[in-house]
Amino acid sequence: MAAGPLETILNPSSIALAGASNNMSKMGTIQMLNLIDSGFPGEIMPVHPRESVVLGKKAYPAIADLPYAPDLAILVVPTALVPGMLEDFGKLGTRHAIIITAGFKETGEEGMGLERRIIEIARNHGIRFLGPNCLGIVNTHLPLNVTVAPILGYGGGLSLASQSGTYIAQTVHFLRRNGIVLGTAVSVGNEADIDITDCLEYLGQDEYTKAIGLYIEGIRDAGRFLRVARRVSRDKPIVAQYVGGTEAGARSGSSHTGAIAGPDYIYDGLFEQAGIIRVDTIEEVYRFGWALATQPPLRGPRIAVLTNSGGPGSGIATTLNAAGLEVPEFSDTVREQVSQFLPGHASARNPVDLTFHIDMKALTVKIPEILFSDDGIDGVIIHGIMDTGFMDLLYPSVSKHMDVTREQFLKYGEISLDELVAMPCAYGKPLLISSFFDTSDHCVRLFHKHSIPTFDSPEKAAKAMWALYKHCLFRQRSASTPAKSTRVTIPAQAREIFSNRSRTGMDEYAAKQLLKAYGIPTTDEFLAASREDALKAARRLGFPVAVKACSPLISHKTEHGLVFLDVENEDAVSRAFDAIRAYDPDAQVLVAEMLRGKREFMAGVSYHPGFPPCVMFGLGGVFAEAHRDFAIRLAPLSREDAREMIESLHARTLLGNYRSMEEVDMDALADILVRLGDIALDFPGIKEIDLNPIIIAGGAPKVADSLMIIP
């Protein structure tokens, strides 16, 4: 794939910065200071109307005075100056920019007009830019840093794209304390030009990036995001936090970057379909992303837990099980091997509990080697490795009885971790560490030095292992091309049905005919214009039948008492017909086969700004809204997408051989969802589709009722 604009923005050979001075209270000055101190190897050219030298660099009074067009322009100037300066850089020949300045569409209508203006200027000159309203970029491999915070670590494998500048500029101390090193970080701001999908696409190709973290407040083109993420996530794990799914989150995101948020459940479906690991906090983006960037891929769900205390072991095991991973019993051979290094009261089962055994060799070398070499184990979590942190706690008491300095005492307690930190690479299995100590402990510092992720609670380590397992499951998906339409052309019958619909919309009968044109199974049924027609239809179908009003003007027939089920004879058909006509003399009457099935599901299509049609599947019937057990995917769907959303239901046990009911034909059910997505794409004039219920009769799904809303 050809290099995009981020290739130059993140790897420029020269940078001009407008807005820096010698006043250290100014944001532009701080950013230029960090640019210089990062070790950027290229030329830095400040632009300032009055100062001839800025932070030791020759300054130029105007953009036109620059000796040549820099690869990258950075603007940290008052909002009103941005359009003119961008124009001047364009005339000079610069084709890449970062607009740090805020005050654009996030502020309202006036700011939106100003943002449209800079977009127009950029297009006229072929400029690609980040921002406005962003905090810059970091590339620790060049190195390059134009944020407001210094780089505290270089050459990391975790990269980040964020719709909040804070998360690439104000977390440096947190990252350092936890041994996390970013490789590349991009603040996208308002995304007037380059957006978070562009960043994802770039990072997917970046040779240094091993895992990708995303902070998202809204995605404008979810279809493109899905296509890019599906491709990238096959090779590189992606961890994302989305915060716009609540009313307060959406309101905050809109005022922050002008982001357009969507319902939380839509993003659940999007991330699952794209192979993205969704997390709840930015801390998990960093911590889980670091584990994914530094550890060998997890190959299965079987985790060994080794601790020096029963409580942390139980916490890890419980969290792992709750997340779908296994803490399997060891084989007799492994238990016998482990037992050699345990005190008599300790457990050699999984978790292995040394019960505060102070022989650190057992915890750091002897037992880990047994666990890593076991073919029945896919990953290892260890809690309780420590040395100087614990020794430091003891020193005040020890010093009262021994003539030893604190430094001597701590040095005496230091242990080697050389063998343990080499095991993940040697065995191709991940290692995660839980410790209640921070970098004041020598062991924690060693783990950080060797890029072994550490967590300050047992449960956090277990949740990180879940993230590795989630990526394992995503990797096991088919590597086939993402879903495309299953047909070459729209069925002619479907075109005819849609074009001949009533001016007031599409009634149930027409909607089902459209479904049938796509091969979606529906009930056998007939329209009846008269009582005699209804009786003929009932005789033809065979009793009992269902009798329903059929009008595009009546969308909720059950609530109006216009659905009659188990109609067993001709008199009952006549009464049902008369009741419907009494409610609406112009309504047609639908006489349908009476399906027998105890399991009811529903499917549908809804639309949200910036998203392709969203296909939903869940529990159906009159209690569908109460249960709210459903899954979402974006059209078009592959058969694999459809099966995954079906199997993601909490009530998925209903799909099997449940209480002597036949197993559901999963392929037939998946086909309904795939074709439903096709209909939504083929006929964008349909604004909502509701198939409820889909009744399982003899294991086969069949649509019993259909609603299509066409404005």
The pTM of this model reads 0.92
Say which amino acid occupies 284. E
CA distance 441 to 461: 18
Q: Decide yes or no: CATH 3.40.50.261 for domain 5-292.
A: yes
Q: What is the pLDDT of residues 504-527, one digit of tens each?
A: 789 999 999 999 999 999 999 999
pLDDT score recorded for residue 472: 97
**All residues at 6 or more sequence positions from 447 whose CB lies less than 8 Å from its CB, including other chains:** 179, 417, 421, 433, 453, 454
Lowest mean pLDDT: which of 257-261, 517-521, 558-562? 257-261
Question: Measuring CA to CA, how many Å separate 688 from each of 53, 65, 633, 681?
Answer: 63, 58, 15, 12
Asked if 595 and 523 count as a contact pair (C-beta separation under 8 A), the reply is yes
Q: Is 558 exposed, middle or buried (CB count within 10 Å of its CB: 0-12, 13-18, 19+)?
A: exposed
- Give residue 381's pLDDT: 98
Q: What is the pLDDT of residue 255?
A: 41
Determine the average pLDDT of the residues in 463-480. Answer: 89
Q: Is it the case that residue 499 has pLDDT exceeding 70? A: yes
Residues of the chain with CATH 3.30.470.20: 599-709
Nearest to 287 by CA among 180, 169, 382, 211: 180
pLDDT at 259 over 50: no
Q: How far apart are CA 289 and CA 272, in angstroms?
A: 17
Q: Where are the alpha helices (DSSP H) in 351-507?
A: 360-361, 367-373, 388-398, 406-413, 418-427, 442-449, 458-475, 492-499
pLDDT at 346: 77
| pLDDT recorded at residue 63 | 98
| CATH 3.40.50.261 residue spans of the chain | 5-292, 296-475
**For the chain, what is the total number of helices (H) and then of strands (E)?**
27, 29
pLDDT at 253 over 50: no
SS3 403: coil
Quick check: 542 pLDDT over 50?
yes
Token output for 676: 């439903």
- Write down the mean pLDDT value for the chain: 92
Helices 458-475 and 282-294 cross at an angle (nearest 10°) of 60
What 3 state SS string does 193-234 have?
A: CCCHHHHHHHHHHCCCCCEEEEEECCCCCHHHHHHHHHHHHC
CA dist 106 → 169, 189, 249, 695 (Å): 20, 10, 15, 48
Q: Tell me the percentage of the chain whose pLDDT exceeds 90.
A: 83
64-77, pLDDT tens digit by residue?
Answer: 999 999 999 999 99
How many residues are present in the chain? 711
pLDDT at 343 (0 to 100): 81
The residue among 360 and 604 whose pLDDT is bigger is 604
Question: How does residue 486 score in pLDDT terms, banded at 50, 70 and 90?
Answer: low
- What pLDDT score was predicted for residue 279? 98
In the block, tokens 């603007």 appear at 75
Per-residue model confidence (pLDDT) at position 258: 45
pLDDT score, position 517: 96
Its CATH class, for the domain covering 599-709, is alpha beta
Write the pLDDT tens digit of every residue in 635-673.
Answer: 999 999 999 999 999 888 888 887 778 899 999 999 999
DSSP class per residue in 16-43? EEES--S-TTSHHHHHHHHHHHTT--SE
- The encoded tokens of residue 407 equal 């430094």
Tokens of 155: 């050459």
Mean pLDDT (whole number) for 584-594: 94
Element (H or E) spanning 670, and its range? helix 666-682
CB 574 within 8 A of CB 538: no
Give the C-alpha distances (Å, rounded to integers) separating 584 from 75, 171, 491, 510.
66, 65, 33, 19
For 6-28, what is the mean pLDDT? Answer: 97
CA distance 434 to 614: 40
Per cent of the chain over pLDDT 70 is: 94
Residue 106 is classified by DSSP as G
pLDDT confidence of residue 558: 85
Residue 585 burial class via C-beta count within 10 angstroms: exposed 0-12, middle 13-18, buried 19 and up: exposed
| Helix segments in 432-588, DSSP class H | 442-449, 458-475, 492-499, 508-517, 531-541, 570-583
pLDDT digits over 91-135, tens only? 999 999 999 999 999 999 999 999 999 999 999 999 999 999 999
d(Cα 136, Cα 145) in Å, to the nearest integer? 8
- Supply the DSSP symbol for 105: G
Q: In angstroms, rounded to a whole number, what is the distance separating the alpha carbons of residues 42 and 68?
A: 14
Q: What 8-state DSSP symbol labels residue 502?
A: B
Of these ranges, 68-77, 395-404, 606-615, 617-626, the one predicted with the greatest mean pLDDT is: 68-77
Under a CB-based contact definition with an 8 Å cutoff, are residues 140 and 182 in contact?
yes
Look at 705 and 502; give whichever has higher pLDDT: 705
Give the pLDDT of residue 105. 94
- Examine the pLDDT at 437 and tell me if it is beyond 50: yes
The answer to which of 260-269, 361-370, 538-547, 581-590 has the lowest mean pLDDT is: 260-269
Fold of 296-475: Rossmann fold (3.40.50)
Residue 619, strand partner residues: 601
Q: How far apart are CA 106 and CA 252, in angstroms?
A: 10
Which pLDDT tens digit goes with each residue over 295-311? 999 999 999 999 998 89
Determine how many CB atoms are found less than 10 A away from the CB of residue 234: 14
Q: What is the mean pLDDT of residues 374-396?
A: 95
Decide if pLDDT at 358 tops 80: no
Of 464, 455, 453, 154, nearest to 294 by C-alpha is 453
Count of Cβ atoms closer than 10 Å to residue 610 Cβ: 16
Question: pLDDT band at 483, cuts 50/70/90?
Answer: low
Which 3-state string (H, E, C) describes 226-276? HHHHHHHHCCCCEEEEECCCCHHHHHHHHHHHCCCCCCHHHHHHHHHHHCC
Mean pLDDT of 474-496: 74
Task: Check: CB of residue 146 under 8 Å from CB of residue 98.
Answer: yes
Residue 479 confidence (pLDDT) above 90: no
Query: What are the angstrom distances between the C-alpha of 699 and each of 24, 86, 88, 491, 673?
Result: 72, 64, 69, 28, 17
Neighbours of 565 (CB within 10 A): 15
Q: How far is CA 232 from the centre of its chain?
A: 13
